[in-house]
Amino acid sequence: MALQTPDPVTQVHDRLIARSLEAKDATQAIWASDIEDLTEELNRIKVEFARFRLFYQWGIEQVATKLNILRQEFEDIHDYSPIEHIRSRLKSPESILTKAVKVGCDLTLPALRERIRDIAGIRITCSFTSDVYWIASMLSRQPDVTVVATKDYIANPKPNGYRSLHLIVKVPVYLSDSTESVFVEIQIRTIAMDFWASVEHKLSYKYGQQLPPSPQSRTRRRRSNCRGTRRTYGPTPRRDPADGGDRIRRRPPRRYTMNDMRHRVGFDCAFSVLQQLADDSEIQA
């Protein structure tokens, strides 16, 4: 019985299928190798970036320790402490990369270390504006704290009313075999300034980057009530009912204590925010 010769078309088809399977296997092998290399590279970058952020965490702890010592000294030895609260934050990897793209910084660790100087941040709140500059002076006099840059938004507020004193300082981080210097941003502001910054941030988030003209004018007017203690708390004039409301009767003057003034300032700020929210509801309606 004679053997049947395969059809030439079938032979070509079989060879193409075989080569396709070989190419697929080779491609999968290459992809597997590439994925393995890529995974190793990503893990290496992740470890290096975690170590990079760790230096800034240590920088925060260095500055926080200095501030806590100052606050403890004033509380235990002196009658008044200018430091009310201390808060800190470390930028997330996403925030660092977003800031780098925004300022046009190369995505390398040396470039990030030099260009992005607010990775580590500390915020100090105090009672009075004079305390802001007092704290800044005490920090700048310490021998291992180098003030690199200063932005005084108290003397020159931002258009949105933001007021604060920003310091970029360089502090050493002492390791077992070396010393690394890192940048730390320090924000110093009063409680009233911090209150306004928080409210303004929420309003900006609600309206976008720019407030509507009407709320802007009202918030500028009410913001002035939150900048500090009012100069006078004079007696409130009232009409005397016995004279048919024509003659003004004044209450006897009262001596206001510091606690009275602080509570009054807090009330003024809270009232301004509530009034602002009410006005916003009217605009939306």
What is the rounded CA–CA span in Å between residue 209 and residue 211? 7
pLDDT of residue 10: 63
- Among 61, 185, 200, 282, the active-site one is 185
Q: pLDDT per residue over 115-157, tens digit each? A: 999 999 999 999 999 999 999 999 999 999 999 999 999 999 9
DSSP string for residues in 117-160: --SEEEEEEESSHHHHHHHHHHHHTSTT-EEEEEEETTTS--TT
Res 68 pLDDT > 90: yes
DSSP string for residues in 235-274: PPEEE-GGGTT-SEEEPPP-PPPHHHHHHHHHHHHHHHHH
Q: Is 195 helix (H, G, I), strand (E, B) or coil?
A: helix
Give residue 197's pLDDT band: very low, low, confident or very high (50, 70, 90). confident
Residue 185 annotated in active site: yes
pLDDT of residue 6: 56
User: Do 113 and 49 contact (CB within 8 A), yes or no?
Assistant: no
Do the strands 237-239 and 165-174 form a parallel or antiparallel pair, or are they unpaired?
Answer: unpaired
Tokens 């910054």 sit on residue: 197
pLDDT of residue 241: 52
Res 284 pLDDT > 70: no
Res 256 pLDDT > 50: no
pLDDT of residue 234: 45
Angle subtended at Cα 100 by Cα 171 and Cα 61, rounded to the nearest 5 degrees: 25
pLDDT of residue 203: 73
What is the rounded CA–CA span in Å between residue 132 and residue 135? 5
**Higher pLDDT among residues 84 and 36, named by residue:** 84
pLDDT of residue 123: 97
Domain coordinates of the chain in residue numbers? Answer: 43-190, 211-231+257-285
Q: Is 3 helix (H, G, I), strand (E, B) or coil?
A: coil
Q: Is 161 helix (H, G, I), strand (E, B) or coil?
A: coil
User: Do 185 and 165 contact (CB within 8 A), yes or no?
Assistant: no
Q: pLDDT per residue over 83-121, tens digit each? A: 999 999 999 989 999 999 999 998 889 999 999 999 999
Tokens 């605009």 sit on residue: 283
Model pTM score: 0.63
CATH code of domain 43-190: 3.30.460.10
What single-letter amino acid sits at 204? S
Token pair belonging to 109: 């660790």
Q: Average pLDDT of the chain?
A: 77
